[in-house]
Amino acid sequence: MQVLRFLPVLLVACLGGTSALAQKTPSATAPAPERNMNNSGLIANIGNEQNAFYTFDTRYEGLKGTPYLVSGWRPADLTLSDGRAFSDIPARFDVYSKRLVIKQNKDSVWLDQRMVREFVLHDSPSPAMPTRTDRRFRAFPDATDAELRTSFAELLHEGPQYALLKLPRKKLVKANYQGPYAADRRFDELIDRETYYLRRPDGTLVEVKPNLKGLTAVDAALGQKLQAEAARSKASGKSEAELVALLQAVDAK
């Protein structure tokens, strides 16, 4: 692994014409709340210009949620598209803009899937994955699915035959409080969404529901093995952690 002080030279050498993505201010990060006439001030004329006055709609409450996978910075190992690797770089994954943000001194550098092949975030255990402390993400530039092709997917399992991927996404739900039929929703919100994919032995990637029934529907042979292992280990396979454990058990054989 190389150290961080070599990263500026590497980025200039390997990114070339993509320097626009390495600005301090990204072109697409957290969505800025839209401003309209009601938010910026509405001029209401009564009679004539001498009687004009201003009213302000202060109901808008801003943006809820975060564009990032997790809050704060995490130490990360990353492999660039040319194969060179770096370790222990402060980073965070901007899911909304589909880019990895790394910290270099006091600056932030935005890198997309064209520049980064893979990165690993060293994270704390969570209730969903109590024993997993490293989260590995990879670019899939050859995927037929446009969402997967332009972002980074988390590798929940990668074995000799199968891989289970989770693509994190952020959906922006706009405020809706103006007009007679509005829902009185006074804030924009970024909501977490995930899509799962199974990579089969022939290399194809297919979207799948993260449960035994869903995996069986896209690969009957794998489904039979998973059902047998679930019966043996008395696992339901309904949680992400259990499903990954079942896959690890049958894909290692």
**Distance in angstroms (rounded) separating the CA atoms of residues 33 and 230:** 47
pLDDT digits (tens, 9 = 90+) for 28-66: 444 544 444 344 343 344 344 445 555 556 777 777 888
pLDDT for res 127: 64
Q: Which carries the bigger pLDDT value, residue 185 or residue 200?
A: 200
**Distance in angstroms (rounded) separating the CA atoms of residues 99 and 54:** 41
pLDDT for res 162: 96
Contact 32/59 with Cβ under 8 angstroms?
A: no
**Distance in angstroms (rounded) separating the CA atoms of residues 229 and 143:** 30
Residue 28: which of 82, 95, 97 has the closest Cα?
A: 97
pLDDT for res 236: 86
Helix axis angle for 220-233 and 240-251, nearest 10°, is 110
pLDDT for res 47: 44
Contact 183/201 with Cβ under 8 angstroms?
A: no
Q: Which carries the bigger pLDDT value, residue 12 or residue 157?
A: 157
pLDDT digits (tens, 9 = 90+) for 187-240: 678 889 999 999 999 999 999 999 999 999 999 999 999 999 999 999 888 889
pLDDT for res 130: 61
Lowest mean pLDDT among 145-154, 175-184, 199-208: 175-184
Token match 């590995």: residue?
A: 136
Question: Stretch 68-73: mean pLDDT, rounded?
Answer: 91
Question: Stretch 68-84: mean pLDDT, rounded?
Answer: 93
Query: CA neighbours within 13 Å on the CB side: how many for 85?
Result: 8
Q: How big is the chain, counted in residues?
A: 253
pLDDT for res 33: 46
pLDDT band at 174 (very low <50, low <70, confident <90, very high): confident
pLDDT digits (tens, 9 = 90+) for 86-119: 999 999 999 999 999 999 888 999 999 999 999 9
